[in-house]
């Protein structure tokens, strides 16, 4: 008798799961059949993305974009980002910090928010920086760390920014030498031990510009990387993707700023 009840309960649970799955699938189908939206040069905004002005049953609310001054905008974590491109075949969206543009070179103090790899290791993140087979290590982006130091740093990994920051004289060369700051940028993986004792991190950004291993890379080259923006994917973080439900998919980096 007990065995019969167990089987009955199991069958009931199975049927309930099937019904839930069918309901979710039906909802997904409705979302898929909405007409694409557009904003500026982003012409095909469709599932899972949606504009704020779209009908409520269109797209996924976690992937909502706004259209501001004819530019598609994504508010991610605490930052504001302009959408450069949505690639549905790669499941990626390329965005750029709203404080970065072609004329401002290095954007020191344009925003109080820094974005780096750890943000995307949070279990509730709607996006991921990893997409297998896209890059050698699966990462879609790498870090750009902007630092200011009390003393000059002689390191091949620190790139001085004095040649391309317009306000460098006003910000670094004050009348009192003890307030003088030397600004540098470091691209790629940066651990706490990589930050010199006299330095502090001011801001962090991400870029998906193709890797440049040229040791003579200039700060203007790095700025081009920032203007290009960075890619993130919704594939592994999407709730309908079973990989996101498997243990071990989300890991917290031991690096301070994951490159």
* Arithmetic mean of pLDDT, 216-242: 73
Q: What is the H or E stretch that residue 183 is in?
A: strand 182-187
Rg (CA), the chain: 23
54 falls within a domain: no
Structural domain that includes position 110: 82-245
Banded pLDDT at 224 (limits 50, 70, 90): confident
The predicted structure's pLDDT at residue 248: 35
Banded pLDDT at 77 (limits 50, 70, 90): confident
- Kindly list the strands in the beta sheet with 230-233, ordered across the sheet, starting from the edge strand earlier in the chain: 50-51, 64-68, 71-76, 79-87, 92-97, 230-233
pTM confidence score:
0.68
Nearest to 223, CA basis, from 191, 187, 194: 187
87 falls within a domain: yes
CB 49 within 8 A of CB 233: no
Banded pLDDT at 64 (limits 50, 70, 90): very high
Q: At residue 158, does pLDDT exceed 80?
A: yes
Q: At residue 161, does pLDDT exceed 60?
A: yes
Banded pLDDT at 53 (limits 50, 70, 90): very high
Question: Token pair of 116, please?
Answer: 């780096």
211 falls within a domain: yes
The predicted structure's pLDDT at residue 18: 46
Q: At residue 39, does pLDDT exceed 80?
A: yes
134 falls within a domain: yes
Total domain count for the chain? Answer: 1
Q: Where are the beta strands (DSSP E) in 46-112?
A: 50-51, 64-68, 71-76, 79-87, 92-97
From the centroid of its chain, how far is CA 151? 32
CB 259 within 8 A of CB 208: no
62 falls within a domain: no
Q: At residue 239, does pLDDT exceed 80?
A: no
Q: At residue 58, does pLDDT exceed 90?
A: yes
The predicted structure's pLDDT at residue 141: 78
Question: Token pair of 56, please?
Answer: 């409520």
Q: At residue 50, does pLDDT exceed 70?
A: yes
Quote the CA–CA distance of 227 and 205 in Å, as a whole number: 11
* Arithmetic mean of pLDDT, 59-79: 91
Q: Tens digits of per-residue pLDDT, 184-196?
A: 888 877 778 888 8
Q: Tens digits of per-residue pLDDT, 167-213?
A: 444 344 333 344 578 888 888 777 788 888 889 888 888 888 776 55
Q: At residue 20, does pLDDT exceed 80?
A: no
257 falls within a domain: no
The predicted structure's pLDDT at residue 143: 81
219 falls within a domain: yes
Longest dimension (CA), the chain: 90
Quote the CA–CA distance of 170 and 172 in Å, as a whole number: 6
Nearest to 97, CA basis, from 7, 234, 207, 187: 207
Q: At residue 95, does pLDDT exceed 50?
A: yes
The predicted structure's pLDDT at residue 148: 87
190 falls within a domain: yes
Q: Tens digits of per-residue pLDDT, 106-142?
A: 555 445 555 555 555 555 566 665 555 544 556 777 7
């Amino acid at each position: 008798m007990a065995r019969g009840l167990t089987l009955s309960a199991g069958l009931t649970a199975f049927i309930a799961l099937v019904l839930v799955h069918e309901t979710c699938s039906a909802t997904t189908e409705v979302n898929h059949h909405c007409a694409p939206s557009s904003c500026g040069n982003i012409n095909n905004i469709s599932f899972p993305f949606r504009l704020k002005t779209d009908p409520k049953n269109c797209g996924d609310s976690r992937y909502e974009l706004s259209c501001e001054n004819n530019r598609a905008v994504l508010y991610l974590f605490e930052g504001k980002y302009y959408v450069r491109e949505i690639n549905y075949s790669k499941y990626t969206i390329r965005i750029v910090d709203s404080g970065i543009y072609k004329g401002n070179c290095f954007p020191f103090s344009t925003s109080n928010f820094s974005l780096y790899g750890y943000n995307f290791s949070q279990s509730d993140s709607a996006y991921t920086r990893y997409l297998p087979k896209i890059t050698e290590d699966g990462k879609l982006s790498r870090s750009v760390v902007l630092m200011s130091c009390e003393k000059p740093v002689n390191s091949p990994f620190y790139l001085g920014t004095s040649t391309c920051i317009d306000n460098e004289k006003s910000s670094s060369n004050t009348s009192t030498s003890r307030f003088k700051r030397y600004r540098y940028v470091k691209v790629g993986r940066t651990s706490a031990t990589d930050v010199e004792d006299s330095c502090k991190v001011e801001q962090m950004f991400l870029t998906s510009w193709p890797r440049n291993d040229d040791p003579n890379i200039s700060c203007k080259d790095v700025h081009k990387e920032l203007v290009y923006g960075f890619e993130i994917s919704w594939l592994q973080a999407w709730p309908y993707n079973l990989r996101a439900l498997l243990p071990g998919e989300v890991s917290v980096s031991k690096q301070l700023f994951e490159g």
